[in-house]
Amino acid sequence: MRRILSVAGATLGLHVLLFFLFDGYRELAFRIGLLFPHGHDIADILPVGGTGFAVLAIAMVGAGVLFERLLRSLRHGARASSE
């Protein structure tokens, strides 16, 4: 459980860094966020950006946890086959 939480924290930190450092990633978050709210005017910038940020954060954490489990499974399989 501790390993999963550390991987989730690391991927969430990576997500925040990507969001603030790269304009393309920020644009992706806004495009994903546009799929959810109904109105599309200037007052919706914060909800659209927040929604996209949250959806990408959940996706990043999920991908990080699945990647960690895949690596652990491969490492365990390699150990079992060498014995």
Cα–Cα distance measured from residue 81 to residue 39, given in angstroms and rounded to the nearest whole number: 57
List C-alpha distances in Å: 52 to 2, 29, 31, 58, 63. 27, 4, 7, 10, 16
Q: Provide the 10 A C-beta neighbour count for residue 52.
A: 22
Rounded CA gap, 80 and 82, in Å? 6
| Percent of the chain topping pLDDT 90 | 23
pTM for this model (two decimals) = 0.75
CA distance 67 to 7: 9
pLDDT digits (tens, 9 = 90+) for 9-40: 899 999 999 988 999 988 998 888 888 766 66
